[in-house]
Structure 1
C-alpha cells in the first residue's frame, strides 16, 4: 500500500484550508471519478457512484451550514450545531469509504438512528459544576448488533499511520529532510465499545489539541506525546537505518500503557537502546544495517510495532495507551453527542453551567474549540487520503 502523502499547513489558517479542500468534493463529476478509482467500480455501476457522489456533496454542504451556525451562535446552542455538523461529516466519510450498501437511502433502512444513547448520572462536583465523568454515551445495540450512524462510521474508521522527520544522507554526499509516514498503523479501529459507554472526560482526555489547555483545570490528557524520526544513511554497499521515538514527560500511567504496546523485532534487540530519563521521558533508538544495495524507498521500514496514535504537528505524535476503539474524530464525535444532548434536553442545567462559568462549562468550551479546529481537517484527511499536520 502506498503511504498517504503528508501535507503541512499553517495552524491559524487551518480551518479555512480544510473547508476549501472539502469544497473539491462538491464537484460530483470529480468525486465520482475518485470513487470509481478507489473502489474499482465496474462500468455498469457508474450511475451508483454518481449517486454516492451527489450524497457526499449534500452532506458536506449541510455540514458547512451547521458549522457556520456554530460560529455565530452563543455557547447556549453551539454544541447542537457542531454535533450535527460532525454527524454529517461522518456521513460524508461513510459514503466515501463504503459501498453502495452504505448509501444514505440504504442506511435509512436499518440505521435511522444517531447510533449513540445517553447514560447520564447528573451529579455536581465539589466545585459546583456537573461531573463530566458521569455523562456517558453508549452504543445503540439491538440484540448483538450495533445500529445507527455512529456504528456504521466506527465500522469503517481507521487509525492513521504515524508521521515524523525522515533524514536521508546520500552516499555521494548531501542530505534531504522531509516529513513522512514512518510507523505503519493504518488499521481499522477496534470494534469493541465499552458496555457502560464513554464519558465526556474520556473524550476530552484523548484529544491532542487539548494537551496544554486542560492542565490549568487539573486534567491530564491520557496520551503519550512522542517525537518520531527516521535517519537513512546510504553508502556504496549498505543502508543504515536509525529509527528513534522519544516519549516526552507526561501522565506516567498513559506513558506506561503506551510503552507496554511497543514491540521491536527480536532480531533488532541487540541494536536497540532504551533510555529512561528522570523527568519521566523515555527514548528508543533502533539501529540496523541493510547489507545490500537497496534504495531507501524499497526497504521494509515498519519493523517496530507501536500503539495506535494521532498526528498533530510535524514534530508531535500522540500515542494511545488505551481506548483504541476510536480515533481522534471518534472521540470528538462522542463528546459532541454528549454536549449536544445536555444542552438540548437539559437546558436548565446547561444554562446554569454557562452563567456560573463552572469548570464543566470551561471544559465544554475548550472541547468545542478543539472540535471546531480539528473536525474539518480530519474529514478532509479521510476523503483525500492524506495526512495533514500543523507546521509548528
Structure 2
C-alpha cells in the first residue's frame, strides 16, 4: 500500500487485439487496481451489491465498463462486447449458484458456493485481463480449477478442529513446470484493495470515506506449492475472527483505524493498531516500510499491545510509505494483515470453498460424520458460508466497478 497521491500506474494496453475479445497478451492489461471508494447504508448494503452485480448482466453496461477500464480503441469495441457478454454469463452462473445454496444443507452448500466463487473469479479476470484470458482461448491451457486438493489422510479421528483444518489444503496446479487453471489466471491480476478512511483538512472539515492509500500494481507472491490450509484461509477472512477464537485460534489481521489530516504544508497519515496477539501486532509493525527521507517525520507511540504511528509528509517530499495488506470493513474500520500471504480476502474464500467442496464430494465419511456431530470444522464451515453472502458480492463488485463499497 502507498499513499493515494502516489497511486500505481496501469500498464500500456497496446494496440494488438485478437478476435476473441479484449487486448491480446496478459502483459497489456490495464485498470486492475481499485482506486475509488464509496460508503453505503448498512441496511441496504447487501441488496446494493447484488443489484450492482446484476447490472453487469446488461450487455451495454458491461461493455462500457470494460471499454473504459481497458481503454479499448473504437475499432476493437466489437471484441470488447464479446468479452463483456462472457462476464455476464459468469456472473449469472455465480449468482444462481449462490441463490441455490440458500436451500442446501451444509452437506452440499460448500460445493454450490465454490462454483459461485469460481464463476465470480472468471468474471473478475475477464474484466481486468486481455482476450488471451477469454473463456474461448483460456480453455486451451487453463481448463482446470487451478488448484488440487491436499486430503486430510493422516488426521486421526480424535484430532482437534485446528489440526483437521491445518491438514486440508488447496495446492496450486503445476504441470510441466507451469501453473495452470482458473486460479492461476485469477491470481495474475489479483491485487490489494485501497485503504479507506476519513480525511480532515486544516479548516476542520472532514471528507470520507476516501482512498487514503492505494495498492501497488504488483502480483501477490506465488502460492507455495505446498498449498494453503483451510485454517490459513479462515484466518485471512477478518469477519471470522470470533469464530476462530472459540477454538483457540486468532485472525491473521489486527484491528485498526487509518486516517489522514492536512495542515499547511504537512499531510499526515495516522495508523492506530488496536491490541491483539503479539505475533500479529509484531507482523504488522515489521512490515510497515518507510523510505529513509520519511524517517524524521515518523512518530510512534507504543502501547502494552498495539501502537500508533503517524507519518508526516511535507509538500515536495519524495517519500514512500508502505503498509501490509489492509481490508476495509466499514468507512472507519480496517483490518491490517500481520502475516505474509499470497492471496487476498476473495482468494481466501475461493481456496477455502475449494477445500470444503472436495470434502463434500469425495470424503463423505469424513464430512457427514463431522456435520452430524456438529464438529468444529463443520461449524466454522457454516460460518464461512454465511459470511460469503455478506462479503463476496461486495468484493467482486469492487473489482468490476473499480470502486470499493463499504458499509457506512
Q: TM-score higher than 0.5 here?
A: yes
Question: How many Å separate the matches in 1 of 2:318 and 2:58?
Answer: 37
SS where residue 388 of structure 1 aligns?
strand
Q: How has the CA–CA distance of structure 1 residues 300 and 57 changed in structure 2, closer, same or farther, with 3 Å as cutoff?
A: farther
CA displacement 1:101-147 (0-9 Å, x = unmatched): 11101111111100000111231474665710000010000122110
Offset at 1:369?
A: 1.6
Q: How far, CA to CA, are the matches of 2:351 and 2:262 in structure 1? A: 41
Q: 1:286 aligns with which of 311, 332, 347?
A: 311
Q: Note the 1:1-392 alignment, pairs <5 A.
A: 4-122=35-153, 123-124=155-156, 126=158, 131-170=164-203, 175-233=205-263, 238-278=264-304, 280-290=305-315, 303-391=320-408
Query: Aligned equivalents of 2:388 and 2:176: distance in 1?
Result: 32
Q: CA deviation at 1:88?
A: 0.3
Q: How many residues align?
A: 375
Question: Displacement of 1:158 after TM fit?
Answer: 0.8
Contact 1:116 1:140 in 2 (8 A): yes
SS in 2 for 1:218: coil
Q: Judging changes above 3 Å, is the alpha-carbon distance between structure 1 residues 336 and 300 closer, same or farther for their aligned structure 2 residues?
A: farther
Query: 8 Å contact 1:70–1:82 — kept in the other structure?
Result: yes
CA distance in 2, matches of 1:225, 1:186: 22
Deviation at 1:353, TM superposition (A): 0.8
The 2-side partners of 1:377 and 1:180 are apart by: 17
SS of the residue corresponding to residue 160 of structure 1 reads coil
CA contact (8 A) 2:94 2:117 kept: yes
Cα shift at 1:28: 0.6
* CA distance in 2 between partners of 1:190 and 1:368 (Å): 25
Structure 1 spans left out of the alignment, 5+ residues: 291-298
Q: Distance in 1 between matches of 2:321 and 2:377?
A: 40
The 1-side partners of 2:57 and 2:327 are apart by 27
Change (3 A) 1:128 1:241: closer
Aligned-residue offset at 1:75: 1.1
Q: What are the Cα deviations for residues 186-210 of structure 1, in whole angstroms up to 9, with x where unaligned?
A: 4333241112100000000011111
The 8 Å contact of residues 236 and 345 in structure 2, kept in 1 or not, is answered as yes
- In 1, the alpha carbon distance for the partners of 2:392 and 2:319 equals 29
SS of 2:246's equivalent in the other structure is helix
Cα distance, 1:215 vs structure 2: 1.6
Distance 2:244 2:77 in 1: 48
